[in-house]
Amino acid sequence: MSRPRLLVLARLQPQDMADRLASDYEVVTDIAQAGDVQAVLTAGNVGLTAEQMSALPDLRLIAVNGVGVDAVDLKQASERGIAVTTTPDVLSLAVAEMALGLALAAGRRIAEGDRFLRAGNWAAGGKLGLGMSVLERRAGILGYGRIGRRLADLLRGMGMQVLYTARQEKPGSPDEFRPDAVALARDCDLLFVTAAGGADTRGLVGAAALNALGSGGILVNVARGPVVDAAALAHALQTGAVAGAGLDVFDDEPNVPQSLLKAPNCVLTPHIGSATVEARRAMSRLVLDNIDAHFAGRPLLTPYEA
Ligand code: 8YV
């Protein structure tokens, strides 16, 4: 029996999941050869543009290996009745863990200390400046979805006071609500960005929120680059308007602006929030289960609903 053809725009990890994909499907990686495919496998940070979608007249399913749908043209997908699936929940702990790691790395100067030691500065009698106790600070979560709430649980579990902002207050939440990013930043010391990307959240953290966060504050972004105004952040880091930042996501990945590369106390990682063996295996399994369900005519497991 011939295997269904599948346009694959994203690599599955670990290798056993890539092997399952290759054994169950005829993998096509060149969109020019994929005019007849019914399904596309893509990544959260890769998506599927309107132009790419237009080149696929038989498309019925966009399976995203990730939770971000900001890079998928949802308007065209909905107009054409194309289903979109994501991989919710299975990556939340990994991304929350990454956010915590970035806060610790910036607050406790871990990355800076590593560079300092390797450069021979410690051996030469140098001293690294003091860091700040991260767990004694108040945390603010911008975007209280699955990842934001998982992070809030972790931080609360470690004894931190947690505040959040979201489109609406969540009744029954153990954390304190603030109506917007500036009000949240004003009342916290560590501002964690976990909001979905896209037009609604672009530039939510700009000069006003950074100034409200203040000179003792740390900004962490594990969501999407454009949620934070990178130029305003670089300026705030240079002038000491904020104490530090930990960034896993950027506007134009994999390019990172010089202003951030040069900024003091800014820890930078290459979009690895969900990049653990555990999370990536679970994501791959879920993305493949969704594609299998489509071709078997079964209900999709995790359809994206706006
Ligand atoms: C991944 C992501 O980098 O979930 C998302 O939206 O951006 C990340 O988890 C990506 O999707 C890997 O496949």
Query: Residue 174 is part of a domain; what is its CATH number?
Result: 3.40.50.720
Query: b/e map of 84-119 (b: 16 or more CB within 10 Å)?
Result: bbbbbebbbbbbbbbbbbbbbbbbbbebbeeebeee
Examine the domain organization and report whether 105 and 191 are in the same domain.
Answer: yes
Cα(182)–Cα(188) distance, rounded to whole angstroms?
10
- Tell me what pLDDT residue 2 has: 86
6-45 pLDDT per residue, tens: 999 999 999 999 999 999 999 999 999 999 999 999 999 9
260 domain residue, yes or no: yes
Examine the domain organization and report whether 11 and 68 are in the same domain.
Answer: yes
Residue 86 CB less than 6 A away from ligand 1 = no
**Does position 1 have pLDDT exceeding 80, yes or no?**
no
- Ligand 1 atom nearest residue 87's Cα: 4
Cα(248)–Cα(220) distance, rounded to whole angstroms?
8
Average pLDDT, the chain: 97
Cα(131)–Cα(25) distance, rounded to whole angstroms?
51
66-120 pLDDT per residue, tens: 999 999 999 999 999 999 999 999 999 999 999 999 999 999 999 999 999 999 9
Examine the domain organization and report whether 73 and 101 are in the same domain.
Answer: no
119 domain residue, yes or no: yes
303 domain residue, yes or no: no
Nearest to 18 by CA among 271, 276, 287: 287
180 domain residue, yes or no: yes
Examine the domain organization and report whether 55 and 108 are in the same domain.
Answer: no
How many C-beta neighbours within 10 Å does residue 177 have? 16
Question: Strand 139-142 and strand 176-177: pairing?
Answer: unpaired
Place of tokens 């092997």: 19
Report residue 306's pLDDT band, with 50, 70 and 90 as the boundaries: confident
Could you tell me if the ipTM is greater than 0.85? yes
Examine the domain organization and report whether 153 and 280 are in the same domain.
Answer: no
Cα(167)–Cα(225) distance, rounded to whole angstroms?
19
Cα(44)–Cα(201) distance, rounded to whole angstroms?
16
- Ligand 1 atom nearest residue 279's Cα: 9
Examine the domain organization and report whether 72 and 197 are in the same domain.
Answer: no
Examine the domain organization and report whether 134 and 69 are in the same domain.
Answer: no
Q: What residue numbers bound the domain in which 145 lies?
A: 92-268
Model pTM score: 0.97
Which stretch of DSSP H or E encloses residue 83? strand 83-85
66 C-alpha to ligand 1 centroid (Å)? 4
Examine the domain organization and report whether 284 and 231 are in the same domain.
Answer: no
The alpha-helical segments, DSSP class H, found in the chain are 15-24, 50-54, 74-79, 92-107, 110-118, 146-157, 181-186, 207-213, 230-239, 258-261, 277-296
Examine the domain organization and report whether 104 and 84 are in the same domain.
Answer: no
Examine the domain organization and report whether 138 and 256 are in the same domain.
Answer: yes
306 domain residue, yes or no: no
State the amino acid at position 282 in one-letter form: A
215 C-alpha to ligand 1 centroid (Å)? 31
State the amino acid at position 144 in one-letter form: Y
Query: b/e map of 251-269 (b: 16 or more CB within 10 Å)?
Result: beeeebbeebeebebbbbb
Examine the domain organization and report whether 142 and 106 are in the same domain.
Answer: yes
Residue 210 CB less than 6 A away from ligand 1 = no
- Ligand 1 atom nearest residue 65's Cα: 13
Domain count, the chain: 2
Q: What percent of the chain has pLDDT over 90?
A: 98
Cα(253)–Cα(203) distance, rounded to whole angstroms?
17
121 domain residue, yes or no: yes
Question: Strand 162-165 and strand 61-65: pairing?
Answer: unpaired
Residue 66 CB less than 6 A away from ligand 1 = yes
304 domain residue, yes or no: no
Examine the domain organization and report whether 239 and 115 are in the same domain.
Answer: yes
141 domain residue, yes or no: yes
